[in-house]
Amino acid sequence: MRSTVPVLRGPAAVRANPPSRPRFRSLLAAWLLALAGCALLPVVARAQGQTAEAITQQAEWIQLAERWINEQLGVELPGVQGSTGLRPEVVFGELDSRLRLAPCTQVEPFLPQNTRLWGRSRIGLRCTDGQARWSVFLPITVRAWGPAWVVRQPLHPGSTLTSEHAELAEIDWAEGVAPVIARPEDWVGHEALRGLMPGQVLREGMVRPPQLFAAGSQVKVLVDGGSFQLTATGKAMGHGFAGQNVRVRLDNGRIVTGTALDGQRVQLGL
């Protein structure tokens, strides 16, 4: 007896041994990724080429900015009182890496409004000749190296400073916000307003002249007119510090402002 094996024809033959769904999806995904990779190769190559070109161009712009800043600073830093022979040093930051700037054949550095070349600052770069006009900011740090007075030993608030309490050292004048005290007469004999530690640079707001009299004290007001001198008495309306202005109410009720000379006298200028 012959055994017969049924033969499937038509649609049934196709469904007889179908591939599993997970394997089919894996093969399809691999095929699509291969096609995508081939398509993206030219794009990636172009993007890498543009990035390298952009990096080179930005380096040239920073060199341009450096030359421009050196011209602006000159030999000495401008606008610093008592800054004899300060040595400038400029540290450049980086442009925002997310920027995609159009190519430019002419870039012009500029100083933004209300910006100083002092401490942490910035300068502007603008395209004046290119496919598109743009303007960006480059962060910089301008240091100003020079001699200044540095505290030698711990000082408590209210301590009277002598010439032994500070020494000259080269520091960055632009590191702090308050101006540096450059002249010894502006701190010797003055009082520390707060505790001072070794290595601190003496800056305005750290010391004050000694107090000569308290508010409410009776003082004599002197008026020197050159060819004549007048005197009057009054009551101090505030504490009097050596060389500082103080308001005085005269006996006749008038309020004047003069410079405290000592514990009893106030000089009124004309």
* pLDDT above 60: residue 27: no
Q: How confident is the model at residue 31 (pLDDT cuts 50, 70, 90)?
A: very low
Q: Contact, 136 vs 125, CB < 8 A?
A: yes
The answer to which of 3-7, 151-155, 163-167, 178-182 has the lowest mean pLDDT is 3-7
**Domains of the chain by range and CATH?**
60-144 (no CATH), 146-208 (3.90.1210.10), 211-268 (2.30.30.760)
Percent of the residues in the chain that have a pLDDT greater than 70, as a whole number: 75
Beta-carbon contacts of residue 188 (< 8 Å; ≥ 6 apart): 161, 162, 163
* 93 vs 237: which has the higher pLDDT: 237
* pLDDT above 50: residue 35: no
Q: Which of 40-49, 92-101, 122-131, 162-171 has the highest mean pLDDT?
A: 162-171
Predicted local confidence at residue 16, as pLDDT: 44
What's the whole-number mean pLDDT along residues 62-74?
A: 81
Predicted local confidence at residue 47, as pLDDT: 38
Distance between the two ends of the chain, CA-based, in angstroms? 142
* pLDDT above 90: residue 41: no
Q: How confident is the model at residue 12 (pLDDT cuts 50, 70, 90)?
A: very low
Q: How confident is the model at residue 83 (pLDDT cuts 50, 70, 90)?
A: low
* 103 vs 175: which has the higher pLDDT: 175
